[in-house]
Amino acid sequence: LAAACGGSSGGGDSADGGSGGGGGGGGALASTGDIPVGGGKVFESEKVVVTQPSQGEFKAFSATCTHRGCTVGSVSGGTINCPCHGSKFKISDGSVARPPADKPLEEKKITVQGGKISLA
């Protein structure tokens, strides 16, 4: 476990600024291997969802549903799914796949480097 994240040894309290995240520039969200092809993963504390629509292509979107502001709950069947009222968004571009939401999820900028995915 210790090899997975260098920020956990000594002085971990101040790693990543300790201010609750803020903008980008924090540690990696995930390893590329954590995001399944054709699926994705919701990061609730960062309010972001990362998807891999096709092998090696990673996208990130706001995890806040555009319908009523709920946090999306899962990624399956090629869609990002909101548990509150059933809205679904395409993993490829965040566009609405099933209402009641009528606006796409906001795309977030990410970087993929050394097998790690981080907010840009």
Residue 96 has pLDDT above 60, yes or no: yes
Residue 59 has pLDDT above 80, yes or no: yes
What confidence tens digit (pLDDT) does each residue in 62-94 have?
A: 999 999 999 999 999 999 999 999 999 999 999
Q: Please check whether residue 80 lies inside any domain of the structure.
A: yes
Q: Please check whether residue 101 lies inside any domain of the structure.
A: yes
Q: Please check whether residue 99 lies inside any domain of the structure.
A: yes
Residue in 38, 97, 36 with CA at minimum distance from that of residue 72: 97
Write the CA distances from 63 to 3, 12, 30, 59, integer angstroms: 29, 27, 15, 12
Residue 6 has pLDDT above 80, yes or no: no
Domain range spanning residue 86? 23-119
Which of the two residues, 23 and 66, has the higher pLDDT score? 66
pLDDT on residue 18: 35
Residues in the chain: 120
Q: Please check whether residue 1 lies inside any domain of the structure.
A: no
Residue 27 has pLDDT above 90, yes or no: no
Q: Please check whether residue 18 lies inside any domain of the structure.
A: no
Residue 89's CATH number: 2.102.10.10
Domain count, the chain: 1
